[in-house]
Chains A and B, each alone.
Chain A
Amino acid sequence: MLTTVVGNFPKVAEAGYGTAVIGAINRWQKQELSDGGLEDVFQDVTRAVIKEQEAAGIDVVTDGQIRWEDLVTPLARRLEGFEINGLERFFDNNVYYRRPILHKTPVRKQPIFLKEYLFARSCTSKPVKAVLPGPYTVVALSEDRYYRNVRPFLRSIAEILNEEARTLAKAGAVMIQFDEPALGFGKPPMKDVVEAINIATTGVQAKTALYLYFGHLDGTLPALRPCRVDLIGVDVVSDPKAITAVRKQKWTKELALGCVDARNTKLESVTELHALFDVVKRVVPKGRLYANPNCGLEFLPHEQARQKLNRLVEAVRRYK
């Protein structure tokens, strides 16, 4: 079983890599700090969070999304066609994001996350996965004033994500992950979602992953079976019934078990994590299993995020 993280990491660590990001962004917003100056701070913190994942013993690391304000605006800001609007609550969290509004056909003019990815890879000898928002989550968190119809919006975002994923794979990303928390809420149009994910992963020369977190898993896993992805990440913390859904699923893909609660500070015991491992090893061979927190670690204060990662690695290492 390999360990990984879902994506983001605390941007500040009072007792660790510091709080430089806050001041740097403030100064940059007031035009007292240049783009290059801000980039230096982002790079320092990115390097620090990668080192921290290495030190914890995480097998597949991310760049911690230190530059990301939220899951969707880093993409939407750099596409033509979107305007970034006011604050909205980010799913069921006491955390907010800025809602993108689509006004015309979205266009990707150049690679979006390539430079950031290359920098992260230069910081470590461990495999670095690239994380992108999934097409449905981009659509669900945006306001569509152009298509006024889910399917064409989904398809155009999926095509853009596909170009981006191909670029990242060519640059050496071993795994490309699409985050789809929006699938946990309401009744997503699963046929269109599967079509979009298949567009996004077409021809991508890397392992592809689809991560589900927050909300509920009702019926989502069976509906995702026709998806052409190599790995599905499931959050078994947010939905108490999720572990049953995982057990009932016929697994033909790899599974990443989101088993440590990255939205609460209470530390899991090795025993309770092992109980979850026991369930999944019966449905997925050990060599096709990953373990990770249920979602990004940025909901936690830094100290607790670090403890949770250590506990995750400890549980996996001690698991026989």
Chain B
Amino acid sequence: MRKVYSKIESISGNVITVTAEGVNYNDLAVVTSAHGESLANVIRMNGESVSLQVFSGGRGVSTGDEVRFLGHPMQVSFSENLLGRIFTGSGIPRDNGPALTDNMIEIGGPSVNPAKRIIPRNMIRTGIPMIDVFNSLVESQKLPIFSVSGEPYNELLARIAMQAEVDMIILGGMGLKYDDYLYFKETLEEGGAMSRTIFFVHTAADPIVECLLVPDMSLAVAERFALEGKKVLVLLTDMTNFADAMKEIAITMEQVPSNRGYPGDLYSQLASRYEKAVDFEGAGSITILAVTTMPGDDVTHPVPDNTGYITEGQYYLRNGRIEPFGSLSRLKQMVNKDSREDHRALMDGMIKLYAAYKESLEKKSMGFRMSEWDDKLLKYGDLFENQMMDLSVNISLEEALNSGWKILADSFTPEETGLRTELINSFWPKERILEKESN
């Protein structure tokens, strides 16, 4: 039986300090107050003075409350029983199911030895042309969705979750609006995907420390499933809330802030989570898609900025569409050479023409006269936006490529596309050629 301490010396924000012996760094404790029990973990030790962050927050904790150390760091249960279940950031059931305590595993474990990693090689098809054709998602990739509040980023995540060819989904919600939480739940239930999904959800109303635990809980579980051969897709939303929670604790601990109040280790903290994305040779994989809202739509804000330095590209979601410019999948070249022979060329060619369309559009808005070429580009841009960029479009990669050729043929002559002759010969829609000849 471990010793119970009943004198809390200081309470500041979500951090309490007790005098205790025989405690180890990062250990877990149970704090019992009038409002019930909460977990807490050790974040600093100085002599016998031990500081802990209380998962349910410092509010309502009194100096006479009990602190009982458990002698181990934070853990989560790992088994098939997790599937279909919904938990809080500290692993307590949010649904009406039983608490799970079998096979407890530690969270925030060591990183994968770089020498054991392999080069990513499989595309994850999503049915979204702006992803599949232009910035393919690759198994084991870590990729953020940069967006601003009000954009349908959670709808996008839910849709990818429903359609992606993966074995299971782990949703980590941080500061999620309750409605959004229900939306995810309903969408996955309706789509029949709930039985291969696990939720770790911290909603905006929940204590802030639990928000900090969500990525580690989600990824620790993902890692075990991946080692057992599962292709796991981890969806995290919103990582900016996670960073803000870190900021709050750092300020309580009187750490010197580095940039707009964020702690100096923001990069390392984010990286240690994102780097959990991996493809295990001979087993499964973890792919991470993470919403990062940009305060003030500013990509140089510390959270999106540090994220960009860590992840393997990014999708910009703006005006309800994935932007072709700025969005980048750094791993796409690993997979788009083997998909279909016209994939790369069509991807490049269509983007170049879309850039030219943007220029024509600008000229038009400045009142310059439109040439015949400008008019063609304007038509093309319209088709492109409606048939490729619109998020309601839901087609396979092959259909999307065919649709791309059709858009080109509706707008241009073959020579105007700048595409190689062999490709034109094999892929230019046949009826167009006949039409042209008969004209």
A and B pair up: no
State the A residues within 8 Å of B (CB): none
